[in-house]
Structures are given as C-alpha cells and as structure tokens.
Chains A and B, each alone.
Chain A
Amino acid sequence: MHMHADPADLDRPADFDDTFREHYWPMVRSLSVACGDREAAADAVQDAFTRAYARWRRISRYDHPAGWIRHVALNRLRDHFRHEQRGTKVHARLAGEATTIVDPPVLPDDELMAAVRRLPTQQQIAVSLYYVEQLSVREIAASMKLSEGAVKYHLHAGRTALREWIEAG
C-alpha cells in the first residue's frame, strides 16, 4: 500500500518528487502487464505525471494523489489503444481486408503476459495492479473508479482464469 507512513503526514500535501520516485516504476510495470506494451505504458504514466504536476497544488491534497495519477494513466492507455484500434480498422479497410481488432503487441517470450492479455480488459487491469503493483483493493477501486466489490469480482475472475492457466501449463 502506498500511503503516508506517518499519520501526521496525512495533513501535509504530498511532495511531487517523492510521489514520482515512489510510484513511477511500479505504475509503468503494472500498466505494462495490463496492456502488454511497456512503451505505451511509460508514455501514459509520464503523461499522467505531467498533468499532475500542472495541478499539483490541488492534487497534492488528495488522500491518494497516486490514485489520481494512476487513473489518468489508465485512461490515457485506453485512449491510446482505442486510437490504435481505430487506425488498424482504417488501414484494414483501405487495404480491402476484413476488419479485425488487433491486440497490442505482447511482450516477447512471455506466456504469462499472453495469459493476462486473454483476460477481459477490466480483469487485466485489476490483476496487474494487484499482483504487480501490489495495491490494495481499495486503491485499485480508486484508480479504476469502481466499487471495491466490483474490483473483488474482477480479481476473483482473473485469478481463477490464471490458476487454470498455471494448472494447465
């Protein structure tokens, strides 16, 4: 859980640099797993931190500034792949091919990543944030703008699918 260690710190605005140092790489890692594209994940996280920096006076006073940043990064990532899928459709149409939605590139030689990629999107994100960034259900709910019950549902379903994959492998 990435929160202020000292309760006295809760009343103090978070420091941007400290927040960046603490959360940048974990976010990039978890979003890379969620989307299978490390570069796109890094871009999304950097964009989110850039937006946060411009609004830091307000965001620093949130209970979980990192949750806001992660949520923005997830939205950026969704926009990125929505745009890519639209571009893929256009290219396919121009080439006279059947329209198919191509998944983002999967990290090479990585069966686990491929298994994650087969999960529904919400499960991919929840599983990534839970197992990779090791967030709590509450933090995941805040980042995904879902209820904790919905997060638990997605985690349970994702875990079940991955267990089947492990047992089959």
Chain B
Amino acid sequence: MNDDLRFDPVDDELRRRFDAQARPEGDPDAVLEQLRPRFRQARQRRRAAFTGAAALVAVVVLGASMALAGGGGSGRVRTPPATKPAGTVPTVVTTLPQPTVTTTGDAGATGGTAAPQATTPTGSSAPAGNGPSGNGEVPPPAPTAAPAVPQTPTYNSAGGSITVNFDGSSTVALASSSPAAGFTAAVHDNGPTRVEVRFSDGQTEWRIRVDVVNGALAPEITQH
C-alpha cells in the first residue's frame, strides 16, 4: 500500500477521520450502466473525428502529390522549348484541321510537332520515325551532332500556310506564305532564328511560328 512514506502515528488518526467522513456509496455497476450511453457517444465522436481527420489528410496528400506531379494528363501537347520573347504565351492547339507539314531536303524534318499529319514528298532518305508523328506526339530532337542539311518545310493551318528555308543548323527564313481564302497574312518574324506569320480573317487569327531549337526546327501552330 502506501508504506513508502515513513509512518507517522498521525496517519492512522487521519485515515480514521477521513473514513468517518465517507458517505455511503452506490453500486458502481448502476453508475456504469447510467454512463454507458455517454461512453458510446464519446467513442463515436472520437471515431468520427478520426475519420474526418484521415479524410482531410488523404485529400491534402493527394493534392500535394498531384501538384508535385505537375498536373499531368491535361492533354496539352508541348513542343520543344523555343526562345520566346518574354510575355508571349501562345495557346497550343492540339486539334488542328488537318494541317500538314511538307519537307524537302535530304534529312528528315524534326519539327512540325503540332501537325497531326505530315508528308515528306521529297527527301526519301529521311530516317524512319524522325519526322512528325501522326498522333501529335513530340519526337525527340535531332542530335546536334547530325550533319547540317538545308530544308524547306511547309507548315499549314486553317488560316494559311508558310514555307521556310532552313540551313539545317541555325538559320531559318520565310520562303513564302499563302493565306487561305478570306485571310490576310502578316509576317511577324522573319529569321534568323524564328519565323512567325499570322493569318487573320478579322475574327480568328492563326499563327505559325517556327523556331530553331538545338539545330532543329520547332514549329508551333496556334489559334487566337
């Protein structure tokens, strides 16, 4: 019992007096039964609080993981990075009305990433899989060590088409532009590392921009 405190004769007297004060106590089982609903409520509240807290944590963790993943699955097609002037953030359109890219030259065109379909009427020596893919995916950029081969690819949009001269390594220039019916063409950039032509019918503007990135052409066709 409590024999770890040195005994003092007054201890017995105090215990006797405290015991004399004791009131009759009821049946603890009766109290227990009275309290049972309160006990159950407390347990349910605690479980509910735990469940809510767990759900909140799950939502936070999920949100954080999605944010860390960079919001993948948005369906946007990104072209290879291009040197863009600050403040210019064009909208990348992934559903273009069948624009085509036509390349001439010996090497495969490594641009045309926004074009769902591409043709290579000439330049049959283009390596397989090095041209624009038919599903809008971005092919890997050509190795920078590849030999420079001049190209004259053509890029089409609903507003018109352009053909550029590319020296195969670093310089691009507009060869020709052809607006579609009802559209007018405006040359926004014309080399040496970017060509951009805007076709407008007063309501809709199509922009075809071609950048030289790592020794290859990186086209971007957008609607504004």
Contacts and interface: CB of A to CB of B under 8 A. Distances in A.
A137 B4 contact: yes
Interface string A116-129: 00000000000100
Interface string A19-32: 01100110011000
B39 A49 contact: yes
Contacts of A21: 28-29, 32
Interface in A126-165: 127, 130-132, 134-138, 148, 152, 155-156, 159, 162-163
A20 B36 CA distance: 11
Contacts of B38: 46, 50
Contact of B32 (A17, A112, A163): A17
A30 to B, nearest CB: 9
Given A24-B31, A136-B2, A131 B15 contact: yes
A155 B18 contact: no
Most A Cβ at <10 Å: residue of B22, B39, B45? B39
Contact of A136 (B4, B22, B46): B4
A53 B2 contact: no
B68 interface: no
Contacts of A132: 18
- Chain A, interface size category, equals 35 or more
Interface in B196-210: none
Interface stretch (B6-14, B53-61, B185-193): B6-14
Nearest to A132: B18
- Chain B, interface size category, equals 20 to 34
Nearest to B10: A163
Most B Cβ at <10 Å: residue of A50, A107, A127? A50
B35 interface: yes
Nearest to A51: B42
A53 B18 contact: no
A113 interface: yes
A1 B11 CA distance: 16
Main SS of the interface on chain A? Answer: helix
Contacts of A155: 5
Nearest to B1: A1
B176 interface: no
A10 B195 CA distance: 83
A130 B5 contact: yes
A110 interface: yes
A12 interface: no
B38 to A, nearest CB: 6
Nearest to A110: B21
A31 B196 CA distance: 86
Interface of B: 1-5, 8, 10-11, 13-15, 17-18, 21-23, 25-26, 28-29, 31-32, 35, 38-39, 42-43, 45-46
Interface of A: 1, 17, 20-21, 24-25, 28-29, 33, 38, 46, 49-51, 53-55, 107, 110, 112-113, 127, 130-132, 134-138, 148, 152, 155-156, 159, 162-163, 166
